[in-house]
């Protein structure tokens, strides 16, 4: 095992500048969930240049790709992400919050490093297998939309992991070690309210405020917090207030919710109660409401055997 570690360390060290260049390139092109066209191509092209066989837009998912080498079992997957976060633009080499472009995207979670490190691991593993032999298939999975999109769940749905024996990944942190804890299952959905616009001074009685409905919904969900299990979390952001004029009864408004719980069954129960709160808010304001599901994923389970 020590020989493997030394081989990998030496190989990555000799390619340090190339890997840093890829990470810096992705940093300089921050793209949010499912919009990572440049970043996905940068990594996919680099893997293809290293001799991997590429499947682009895997499963019909934009910017998802699989780079494969070898054949047969076992099938080992290395998972790479490369999406950024909205509003987290940041100058490089600066420890204080200093946006490069205020309000623009940025790699606040270090996925420029995540994707590059998984790429480096794939190249090193391929070199070891070619030098020392061994059966099996090595795959790099380019996973888009992880920040607020749970992109891997859609890849799983399309069967892209059906024959995988083990999947490994890495994430930037302030420490080095095994990530050996569970995470929370989550569901993300948006509720849009539609009412009737009116002049708030001349004819407010004719208006039906979608913004009032959103306010009532968030108030109701805040009261719900006392009556859900202790480890559950309910977060929201008002993503559309309907407008910027206070003298208008707003006819459109939307709120985005992220519901977290230890198990998916718990999250689903809370989601159902949030839906009832939305219906109640619509009833009170005589507005219409629709729910747009965005994503969900189960809790992260540690693999004690691999650890």
Spatial CA neighbour of 231 closest among 273, 182, 196 = 182
pLDDT given at position 256? 98
Fold of 2-168: Aminopeptidase (3.40.630)
Mean pLDDT of the chain: 95
pLDDT given at position 214? 99
pLDDT given at position 301? 79
pLDDT given at position 222? 98
Could you report the per-residue pLDDT of 95-111, keeping only the tens digit for each? 899 999 999 999 999 99
E strands, the chain, in order: 53-56, 65-71, 75-81, 136-143, 166-168, 185-194, 198-199, 233-240, 248-249, 252-261, 288-297
pLDDT given at position 205? 97
Q: Where are the domains of the chain?
A: 2-168, 185-297
Q: How far apart are CA 154 and CA 282, in angstroms?
A: 31
Q: Give phi and psi for 223, each to the nearest 5.
A: -70, -30
Which DSSP helix (H) or strand (E) runs through 225?
Answer: none
pLDDT given at position 182? 80
Residue 287 to residues 203, 271, 279, 282, 290, Cα–Cα distance (Å): 17, 20, 9, 5, 10
| Sequential pLDDT tens for the chain (307 residues) | 788 889 888 999 999 999 999 999 999 999 999 999 999 999 999 999 999 999 999 999 999 999 999 999 999 999 999 999 999 999 998 989 999 999 999 999 999 999 999 999 999 999 999 888 888 999 999 999 988 889 999 999 999 999 999 999 989 988 888 887 788 999 999 999 999 999 999 999 999 999 999 999 999 999 999 999 999 999 999 999 999 999 999 999 999 999 999 999 999 999 999 999 999 999 999 999 999 999 999 988 788 888 7
CB atoms within 10 A of CB 256: 18
Q: N- to C-terminal Cα distance for the chain?
A: 14
Fold of 185-297: Alpha-Beta Plaits (3.30.70)
């Amino acid at each position: 095992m020590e020989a493997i570690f030394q081989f990998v360390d030496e190989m990555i060290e000799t390619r340090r500048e190339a890997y840093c260049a890829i990470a810096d390139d992705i940093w300089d092109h921050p793209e949010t969930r499912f919009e990572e066209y440049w970043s996905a191509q940068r990594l996919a092209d680099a893997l293809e240049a290293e001799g991997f066989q590429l499947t682009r837009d895997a499963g019909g998912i934009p910017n998802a790709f699989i780079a494969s080498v070898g054949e047969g079992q076992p099938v080992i997957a290395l998972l790479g992400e490369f999406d950024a976060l909205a509003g987290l633009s940041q100058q490089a080499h600066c420890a204080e919050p200093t946006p490069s472009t205020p309000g623009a995207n940025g790699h606040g979670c270090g996925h420029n490093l995540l994707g590059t490190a998984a790429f480096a691991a794939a190249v090193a593993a391929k070199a070891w297998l070619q030098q020392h032999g061994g059966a099996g298939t090595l795959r790099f999975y380019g996973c888009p939309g992880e920040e607020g999109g749970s992109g891997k769940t859609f890849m799983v749905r399309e069967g892209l992991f059906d024959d995988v024996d083990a999947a490994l990944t890495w994430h930037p942190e302030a420490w080095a070690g095994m990530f050996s804890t569970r995470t929370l299952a989550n569901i993300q959905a948006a509720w849009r309210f539609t009412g009737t616009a009116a002049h708030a001074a001349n004819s407010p009685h004719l208006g039906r405020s979608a913004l009032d409905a959103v306010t009532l919904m968030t108030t109701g969900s805040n009261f719900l917090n006392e009556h859900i299990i202790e480890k559950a979390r309910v977060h929201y952001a008002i993503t559309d207030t309907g407008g910027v004029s206070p003298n208008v009864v707003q006819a459109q408004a939307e709120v985005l919710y992220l519901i977290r719980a230890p198990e998916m069954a718990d999250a689903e129960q809370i989601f159902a109660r949030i839906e009832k709160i939305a219906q109640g808010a619509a009833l009170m304001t005589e507005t219409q409401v629709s729910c747009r599901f965005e994503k969900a994923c189960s809790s992260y389970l540690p693999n004690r055997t691999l650890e």
